[in-house]
Amino acid sequence: MSDWTLDYTDFDNAEEGLREALCTLGNGYFATRGAAEEAKADEIHYPGTYLAGGYNRLETEIAGREIENEDLVNMPNWLCLSFRHEGEDEWFDLAAVEILGYHQALDLRNGVLQRKMRFRDRQGRETSLVCQRLVHMQNPHLAAIQWQLTAENWSGRITVCSALDGRVINSGVARYRELASTHLRPLGSEAIDDDSIRLRVETSQSNLRVAQAARTQVFEAGCLLPDQRRLEQQRGYIAHELSFDVSQGRDIHIEKVVALQTSRDRAISEPGLAAMYTLAEAGRFADLLASHAQVWRHLWHRCDLILKGGGRTQMILRLHIFHLLQTVSPHVVDLDVGVPARGLHGEAYRGHIFWDELFIFPFLNLRIPEITRALLRYRYRRLGEARRLAREAGYRGAMYPWQSGSNGREESQMLHLNPKSGRWVADNSHLQRHVNAAVAYNVWRYYEVTEDIEFLSYYGAELLVEIARFWASSAQWNAQRKRYDICRIMGPDEFHDQYPWADEPGVDNNAYTNVMVSWGLRRACEALEHIGTERRRELCETLSVSEQEISTWDSISRRLSIPFHDGVISQFEGYERLDEFDWKGYQEKYGDIHRLDRLLEAEGDTVNRYKASKQADVLMLFYLFSAQELGDLFHQLGYPFDPELISQSIHYYRQRTSHGSTLSRIVESWVLARLDRPRSLQLLNEALESDIADVQGGTTREGIHLGAMAGSVDLVQRGETGLVLRDGLLRLDPCLPEPLPGLQLRLRYHGRWVEITLEGHRMTLCVPEGGTKTLRLAVRDRAYSFEAGQRLEFQWQSDSGWQLVDPGETSSSPR
């Protein structure tokens, strides 16, 4: 195993769905699951292609109610490639031959999926097949397949079928199968020329027109092999069937180059024409591979994180970075898309966008902030809808939906199917208003890392102000305790959507939400300071924000209620009244108790009754803020803050969390980093294994967990370098005295790159040549200024911490 390759050395029907998700190839514009080219959607395979932002809505009657769902649409399958021997009916099917050798490899460095197979069919013919595939990272409208077929002990005539199939539906997630799923309407198909075909479809409600064009050619010894072609057409389907002679021992190359364009593309006349032009300009597979691999080289140069002797961990980290960059590549800068929680890798959560960006931004902010800026612009463009949502719910400002899709309306389902009981139950998850806090947090962290004042002035400040306004209108003054309450909401822990003794959904004063609100209100005030008097005046006039309103935000930020019990922060008010849960008993009874909510509902009980959390909730505070920042926040809120509160709260909730979300381990691993290193590392390892080992037993096949993927890489980067952003400075403080295993990474901060190398007791920081701006960074509490081309070495001294090896003239006093 190389640390650049995800390898599978056998073929396993049961694992195919998982491998398809993990071997997805994409370029930020679209992605296609790693299903075999010859496979059709069935219980084993699911060849899905998803377009960033390619949504459609359909209505279904469920449990007597008409419900509407918005899905990320499974687009026409462009992979379809198969062959059969002349005079035979059966197309190539790996399940119907004797497999003599099988090796599947996802090459992370070059972004290529390869399958190498040798097999013997019923007639005793032995064939070897090497399939390679890419989804082009340079031209996001292109993809290509190359099959190298070698007849080992036979010669004869074969027919290759190369198709574009628009008859697909969304059926990748079993529990959604009762919902309407036919999103595509065929518009037409035709042969463009002797080698190429084209298919056009349209989504039924969003009227997104999609065109695919495919050129299929056969080569022997580098020369085009003459073939006999037949066009096969059905509604929503078109194929070229090519027949040609194969001689024993001679390698045949079958190439399929595909162009994909949509009516949302810019600089086009019409998608069908555009697909045809794009295809005409595209070179052969080898040319496309070269330009594709070059772009990946550049991406890795910026984004790799090299662990010395990292082995499997190194490979998994790269796998996670790879999938992150395939979902939100630099191409999204020109698109209007958010980051779907499950990538463009499957249909779970219907491609919706949640708060998971909170876990994804830290990695991207510090490398390709152009992407995070684009993702924030997705939110900004939906401010109008968020304002409408707030207004309809009786609030002011902007209230972002828990689940977002095309236009930013609330896409959370009102009912969900509990597969354990077969019942459709009410889904109150839309009460997770904390998604607004995540949007605000991401705006501010983006600004801190980039100093992009133009973004803050024209987009960020407006987002912060409108979210602040929403919070201010949802906070109610509680005269008795002289504090503001935020009631009838849900925290990140989705197990608690209602008090067991109440009739209405929601809980009160979720500590995480309230602290985030306090922080967010302050940031809104601060943003208005940062953007300068003139812009502040303009913005306040446009949004009718008065000085009095701003001072109300300030007062609310100082008087929000935070509940406590038994020396810990309460997850929400009244949490202490819940029953303890019998963790051991249920573990013995069910084994896997990640999704206690489903198990208990199936038993006629409800998880709302218990002190049991699906995922980190209070602990999120210690994940997002340093102890010092949190101390300041509590101080500002007028609550005493003893550092013991952190360790006690961590200890308390650790024992009451099922980790039913992959995000949860990331948080717990981080909060334990300095308290319980072995357990923290164990959780990090579990987080790294989340998708590759499908730790939730079957969820990864429905789409990767992008928050956990990006979050685990961020954990390593943060954990090893001790990286924090505080007081306007990026601070590094690798945790010693244990020698560091060796790590190399590049970060971009305030527009400058810095290369960080850690090994043993040494740390080197190097700012590459180019650029004129001085970069300021801190090592622990001491700030240093770097000029372009400068390199500083630090050595860990057990008595005095990190010391500059040759201070020279570069050191400056701490800020």
Nearer to ligand BGC, 85 or 342 (CB): 342
Tell me how far, at minimum, the Cβ of 706 lies from ligand BGC, in Å.
Answer: 8
Contact call for residue 562 and ligand BGC (CB under 6 A): no
Q: What's the CA dihedral at 571, 577, 579, 583 to 10 degrees?
A: 20
CA-to-CA separations, 92 to 89, 103, 448, 600, in angstroms, rounded: 10, 17, 55, 46
Please give the single-letter amino acid code of residue 788: A
3-state secondary structure of 335: coil
Contacts with ligand BGC, 337-376, as mask; x by CB under 6 A: ----x-------x----xxx--------------------
Q: Could you say whether residue 710 binds ligand BGC (CB under 6 A)?
A: no
Question: Which residue, 236 or 505, has its beta carbon nearer to ligand BGC?
Answer: 505
Q: Which residues of 562-595 are buried (b: 16+ CB within 10 A; e: fewer)?
A: bbeeeebbbbbbbbeebeebebeebeeeeeebbb
CB of 661 to ligand BGC, least distance (A): 4
CB of 386 to ligand BGC, least distance (A): 18
Chain centroid to CA 703: 10
- Count of residues interacting with ligand BGC (CB under 6 A): 12
User: What is the Cα–Cα distance from 278 to 31, expressed in whole angstroms?
Assistant: 18
Minimum gap (Å) between residue 70 Cβ and ligand BGC: 15
SS3 content of the chain, % helix, strand, coil (to 5): 35, 30, 35
In contact, 201 and 210? CB cutoff 8 Å: yes
Binding test (CB under 6 A) with ligand BGC, winner from 663, 684, 777, 778: 663
- Cα angle 570, 444, 323; round to 5: 90
CB of 490 closer than 8 Å to CB of 432:
yes
Which tokens sit at 741? 């295993």
Task: Find, among 568, 560, 523, the residue nearest to 637 by Cα.
Answer: 560
**DSSP structure class, residue 226:** P
Distances (CA, A) of 66 to 180, 348, 415, 431: 11, 21, 11, 21
Please say which residue, 613 or 757, places its beta carbon nearer to ligand BGC.
613
3/714 with CB nearer ligand BGC? 714
Rounded CA separation 159/599 (Å): 51
Work out whether 661 is an interface residue with ligand BGC (CB under 6 A).
yes
Q: How far is the CB of 439 from ligand BGC (least distance, A)?
A: 13
Min CB(707)–ligand BGC separation in Å: 6
Task: Find the shortest distance in angstroms from Cβ 489 to ligand BGC.
Answer: 14
Residue 510 interacts with ligand BGC (CB under 6 A)?
Answer: no
For residue 413, the minimal CB distance to ligand BGC (Å) is 13
> Looking at beta carbons only, is 139 or 699 nearer to ligand BGC?
699
Convert 348-379 into a string of H (helix), E (strand) and C (coil): HHHHCECCCHHHHHHHHHCCCHHHHHHHHHHH
Query: Residue 604, by phi and psi: left (phi above 0), alpha (psi -120 to 50) or beta?
Result: left
User: Whose Cβ is closer to ligand BGC: residue 397's or residue 707's?
Assistant: 707
Note whether 203 and 119 are within 8 A (CB): no
Q: Work out how close the CB of 513 gets to ligand BGC at its nearest, in angstroms, rounded to a whole number.
A: 13
Nearest to 76 by CA among 179, 193, 208: 208
Contact present, 356 and 666 (Cβ < 8 Å): no
Q: How far is the CB of 303 from ligand BGC (least distance, A)?
A: 22
AA identity, residue 466: E
3-state secondary structure of 548: helix
Shortest Cβ 689–ligand BGC spacing (Å): 17
Q: Does 494 bind ligand BGC (CB under 6 A)?
A: yes
Which residues are within 8 A (CB) of 82 and not within 5 positions of it... i.e. 6 or more apart?
A: 37, 38, 91, 92, 160, 161
* Cβ nearer to ligand BGC, comparing 262 with 696: 696
Find, among 616, 667, 643, 361, the residue nearest to 510 by Cα.
616
The residue among 41 and 667 lying less far from ligand BGC, judged by its C-beta, is 667
Footprint on residues 606-625 left by ligand BGC (CB under 6 A): 614-615
Give the contacts of 171 (CB within 8 A, at least 6 positions apart).
Answer: 41, 46, 74, 177, 181
Q: What are 53's two structure tokens?
A: 């932002």
Please report how close the Cβ of residue 514 comes to ligand BGC at its closest, in angstroms.
18
Closer of 492 and 506 to ligand BGC (Cβ): 492
Smallest gap from Cβ 269 to ligand BGC, in A, equals 38
* DSSP 8-state class, residue 617: S
> Comparing C-alpha atoms, which of 438, 458, 441 is closest to residue 353?
438
Alpha carbon distance 39, 339 (integer Å): 28
CB-nearer residue toward ligand BGC: 662 or 717: 662
Beta strands in 633-772 (DSSP E): 724-726, 729-732, 740-749, 752-760, 762-766
**SS3 state at 214:** strand
For every residue of 386-417, DSSP letters joined together read: HHHHHHHTT-SS----SSB-SSSS----SEEE
Of 54 and 491, the one with the shorter C-beta distance to ligand BGC is 491
The CA distance from 440 to 434, in Å, is: 10
Residue (50 or 83) nearer to ligand BGC, CB: 50
Q: Which is nearer to ligand BGC, 145 or 440 (CB)?
A: 440
Which listed residue (34, 54, 703, 707) binds ligand BGC by CB under 6 A?
Answer: 707
Rg (CA), the chain: 28
* 660 contact partners, CB below 8 Å, separation of at least 6: 494, 495, 594, 595, 596, 597, 614, 615
Separation CA 774–CA 574 (nearest Å): 52
The single residue among 369, 492, 505, 711 that binds ligand BGC, judged by CB under 6 A, is 492
Active site residues: 494
Taken as a whole, the chain contains a residue count of 815
Q: Which residues bind ligand BGC (CB under 6 A)?
A: 341, 349, 354-356, 492, 494, 614-615, 661, 663, 707
